[in-house]
Structure 1
Amino acid sequence: MKHCKINLVIVLLILSWNAGAQPLTKDLRDALGGSKKSRDTSKVEVVTGKNYVTLLPVIAYGPANGFALGASVSLSRLFDGGLTNLSSALMNAQFTTKKQIMVNIRTKVFLDQNKWNLQGDWRFLIFTQPTYGLGLRSSENTQNDFTVNDVGTSKHPLAEDMNFNYLRFYEDVSRKLGQTPFYLGLGIAIDYHFAIDDLELNLSADSSNRYETQHYQYSTGRNFNTENYVTNGIKFIAIADTRDHIINTYKGYLLSLSARINPALFKNSQASTFLTYDARYFLRLSREKFRKILAFWSTGNFTTSGNIPYLALPAIGWDAYNRSGRGYVQGRIRGINLLYNEMEYRFPVSRSGFFSGVAFINATQASSDSQKLFDGVALGTGIGLRMLMDKRTRVNVTLDVGYGMDGSWGIYLYLQETF
C-alpha cells in the first residue's frame, strides 16, 4: 500500500510538470459537447442576476447507514455587478435505508460591492455516528478502517455507537470597513442535539456488565442531560478577506476571528464562551501555470470558560463544509480544544484545464481533561483528482483518497474545493 501511494504521487507530480501553461479552457459542458475551443477563462464573464447550478448525484453505502441516495447542488450567483464577489450556496441531502436524513445548506453571499457579507450554515440530521472519546486517543490494535464521505464501513476498536438528531442554525452578517478588506459583524449560533441514544451505555447494577461510555462520563461529570442539550450563542466576528474567488481561490488570504458567548437560556444548557479562528493563504507558484498553488489552512477552536456539551465540542469533519481531517472518519478526533492545520499542493494535470490534481497533508491536535492540546498530533495525508464542472464559476468535482496514521483511510467525493 505504501509503494502504491508513493507511485501515485510521483505520477501526479509528473503530470503537473508536463501540463500546459495556458489558462482554464475546458469544462464538463465543453467535454460533453466535443468543444475544441481554447478560451481564456478570464474572458468568460459571469452574468449578473443569473443562477449557475452544478448537480452531483450521491450514491454511497456503509453498515452504519445502509444505502444512501442523495444529491449535492452548487449554486453560484452574482447579485450586483462591478466589484461585487460571486456568491455561493452548497446544498446537499441524503436519505438512507436506515431511515436517516441528512440535509445541509451552506451559503456565502456578497452584496452591494462587497459592503455586506452573509454566511450561513444550516443543518438537520437524523443521524448515526460512533464517538471515540476526547483528545488523541489511540489504539494498539489499529486496523484499516475505511470510509466513504465520512461513512464508516468497519468498526474501530475505540468506537462507541450513538444515534442522535441534530439541528444547527448559524448565520453571520458582516459589514465592510470602507475600502479595506476588513469586515466586522455579528452572528447567531444554535446547536441542538436531541433524541441521543448512547447505544453501548450499560448502567446495570451488575459491575461485570456495567459500561459507561465517554459521552456519559463527560455529560454526567459536567451536569449535562445525557439525552438532549442545547447551546445558543451570539458571535462577534472580525474578517479579513483578499481572495480572488471564494469557490476556487488562486491567490489571496482569509482570516476570520469569532468570539461566541453562550448564555444559559434553557433547562439543558450552560453558560460558556468559545473562541474560533480560521486562516487560509493561497500562494500561486507560477505566473504561466497559474493553477500551480500552495494552499494553507489553519483553524482553531478553544473553550475559554464554562462547559460545552459533548457532541457540540469541536471535532474533525464537523467544520462548516465537513472537509477537515481527510484520512479519518468524521468525529474520530474530538476535543475540549482543537487545532487543525493543512497544506495542499494544487496543480494542473491536463493542458485544457479539465483535470487537475492535489496532494495534501494535515495535522490535528486535541485536548481532554487528561491531555493537553500540544501533547500529540494526528497526521493525515493523501492525493486527489479534480474535474472542472463550470469554468465560469470555477466549480470542481473533487475526488480524494486520504490516509490516517491509525491505519484508517477514506474516499471523499464532493463539489467545490476542500478549502
Structure 2
Amino acid sequence: MSKLSLFLIFICVSGYAQQDSIPMKHFRFTPLPVIYYSPETRLGFGALLAANFETSKALDTTTKKSYAQTYFLYTINKQYDWGTMMRMYTPGNKYIVYGKFNYTFFPEYYYGIETEDPESKKDTIQYNRIGADVRLYKLLAKHFFAGIAGRYNRITNIDGGQGHFIEDKPPGYNDYWVLGVAPAFTIETRDNYVYPRKGFYLEALYYIYPTWSRKTYRFQSFKLDIRQYYPVNLFSTIDVVAFQFLANVNTGHVPFKDMADIGGSYTMRGYYTGFYRYNNLYAFQAEFRTQLWWRLGLALWAGGALTPEKWYTFFDHTIKPNAGIGLRIMMNRKDRLNVRVDQGFGKKGQSGFYLDIAEAY
C-alpha cells in the first residue's frame, strides 16, 4: 500500500518566487515544512532543511558543490523518523566525505523474504532503528578516488505480533545489530550532485560484517552503483537522460533488514520498500528529466530488477519491472535543487507515491 505525503509547496510561491535561497556566505538553505500521512502511521508533520554549499574560501569552478539535508517527522501515534545526510567535497576535490544517519520508530509491512508471493506473507511490524553510513575518499588521480567505508545498523524492540513474521522467524527477528567496514572506490565526473546533467559516476564497496556478539550476524556485501548522464535539449536547456545500474550481492547469514530489497523513493519506485527481499539484487533504471515552465518540470522513468538466488544465476525469478511519472518543482535555481513528486508502478498491482528533495539518482 502506498504512502501519502504532502510538502507544503505553497512556500515556493510566497517565498521562493522572489529569491532562491537564504544567503549566508557560501551556504544556500532550502527549508520545507512537511505534512505526512500513511495508513500505518496516520497523520504526521515535521520539517526538512537542505543546504548547498562550497568548501573553497574563494569560489572556483574546480571544487564540486557540496550538499547536506536533515529532516524530522513525528506522527500522532507517537512515532518518529529523523535523518540527516551529507556529501562534501573539500577544496580541489582532494577528499569526498559522505555521511548518513537516521533514527526511526515507524511501523512497516513485512512481506516475507526470498518469496515470489509476497502478499501471502503480509504482516505489520514495528521496531527502533539506528543507522549510520560513513565513507571517506581520497583523490588518487583525476576523477578517481579510493577510501574506506563503515556501516552500522541496529534493529531493536521488534514487535511482530503473532502473524507471518513470527512464524517465519527471519534472521534478525529477535533484535540484532551489525557493524561492517569496506574498502571503497569511486569515479566521479558529474557536474552537479543534486541534478546531474552530464558525467559519469561509479561506486564500488565490499563490506565485511564480523560476528561481534550473539546479536550480530556474519556476512559479506558487495555494492556497485553506476550512473551515466546525457544532456539533451528537447524542451529546455537542462533536459537530461539519466541511467543507473545497481548491484547488491550478499553472502553469509544476512539479517532481514540488511538483505537487498526493492522499493522506496530511490530504487525501483513503485514498490513498497521490502515487497521483494532477497540476498541478491540487480536493478536498472532510465529516466528523462525536463523543465517545462517557470519552476515546474517533468520526469518519466522505467526500469527493472532481477533477484537471483546466487549472484550468477540471474534469471532464477521473473523480472520485476517498474515505470512512473513525476513532477518537479525547482526551489533553488542556482543549484538546480528540486522538490520531487513521483508516482511509480510495479507488478502485482504495486504502486507508490513519493515526495522527496533532489533527484532519485
Q: Same fold (TM over 0.5)?
A: yes
Structure number with larger C-alpha Rg: 1
Residues 10-409 of structure 1 aligned to structure 2 (within 5 Å):
32-33=17-18, 49-80=25-56, 81-82=59-60, 83-135=62-114, 137-138=116-117, 158-178=121-141, 180-201=142-163, 212-214=166-168, 216=169, 218-219=170-171, 226-286=173-233, 289-304=236-251, 306-317=252-263, 322-350=265-293, 352=294, 354-367=295-308, 373-374=314-315, 375-409=317-351
CA separation in 1, counterparts of 2:161 and 2:174?
12
CA separation in 2, counterparts of 1:31 and 1:166?
35
Instruction: Give the ranges of 4+ consecutive aligned residues of structure 1 lying more than 4 Å apart after TM superposition.
Output: 27-31, 46-49
- Comparing both chains, which one has the higher relative contact order based on Cα–Cα distances under 8 Å and sequence gaps of 6 or more? 1
My pick for the range that moved more, 130-139 or 395-404, is 130-139
Compute the TM-score of the two structures, normalised by the length of structure 2.
Answer: 0.88
The Cα shift of 1:294 comes to 1.0
CA separation in 1, counterparts of 2:183 and 2:150?
9
Q: Is the 8 A contact 2:235 2:292 kept in 1?
A: no
Q: Which amino acid aligns with 1:198?
A: G
Q: Is the 8 A contact 2:259 2:277 kept in 1?
A: yes
Aligned length: 345
Cα 1:366–1:134 shift into 2, 3 Å: farther
Compute the TM-score of the two structures, normalised by the length of structure 1.
Answer: 0.76
Cα 1:117–1:48 shift into 2, 3 Å: farther
| SS of equivalent to 1:121 | strand
Cα 1:49–1:185 shift into 2, 3 Å: farther
Q: Which amino acid aligns with 1:123?
A: N
- Cα RMSD of the aligned pairs, angstroms, is 2.6
The Cα shift of 1:372 comes to 5.6
CA separation in 2, counterparts of 1:132 and 1:415?
28
CA separation in 1, counterparts of 2:145 and 2:47?
33
The Cα shift of 1:72 comes to 2.0
Q: Which amino acid aligns with 1:193?
A: I
CA separation in 2, counterparts of 1:212 and 1:372?
30
| SS of equivalent to 1:396 | strand
Cα 1:356–1:61 shift into 2, 3 Å: same
User: C-alpha offsets along residues 164-192 of structure 1, whole Å, 9 cap, x if unaligned?
Assistant: 111111110000113x1010000111111
Q: Which structure 2 segments of 5+ residues have no match?
A: 1-11
The Cα shift of 1:380 comes to 1.3
CA separation in 2, counterparts of 1:365 and 1:270?
25
CA separation in 2, counterparts of 1:239 and 1:367?
26
Cα 1:136–1:284 shift into 2, 3 Å: farther
Q: Which amino acid aligns with 2:297?
A: S
